[in-house]
Amino acid sequence: MNIKALIKKYEELWNEHSPFYEPVPYTSMVELFLKELKQLDEPQKVKIPQFVADWIEVCKEHLTTSLYTAMTPNFMKENNQSFDLILWIKKASNQDLFARAWLDGYEVEKEKRYLVKIKGNIKENMLVYGELLERYFFTKSFSLDDAIYSHTRKELEDAKFGWVFDCPGIEIEEVE
């Protein structure tokens, strides 16, 4: 039973069986109990990266494994998980986050998005992904309806554009 259900249960009991004829200390005690119960905090969901959320889903839905096993780097390797996940879980503070996400639920962090432009006075300087063409290309403006102008680091790396983050001839602008 969660806290909200417990509060509702006691409020209903109170409304049904409110003993107006009972001594004041009893009613005061019940009112105080409900007031304090309402102040209890439910565990807040932690924010985790998408790749961690994906791993938790795989473990719970397909591998039906324990929290301990899911956090074991060797188990991750056996199940072809990324090196990024293994490095992430080895950090002590991330182990706490993982356990809280597993037990209390989680929200997925929004990944940073970037505009990628070639520096200099070049007309077609903006990297976009054409959804209809299913490929990346450079263009000069925000005029294309079927193009994605901002990209996550993972999208760029998966498309072999990870080098743009290290290239002095490329301007990277973080966008919302």
Residue 25 has pLDDT above 80, yes or no: no
> Hey, CA dihedral for 59, 65, 68, 73, is it positive or negative?
negative
Query: What is the predicted pLDDT for the residue at 53?
Result: 94
Which residue did the predictor score with more confidence, 166 or 139?
166
What DSSP character marks residue 82? -
Over the chain, what is the mean pLDDT?
Answer: 84
DSSP code per residue over 63-77: I---HHHHT-HHHHH
pLDDT tens string 66-120? 898 999 898 999 988 888 899 999 999 999 999 999 999 999 998 889 989 988 8
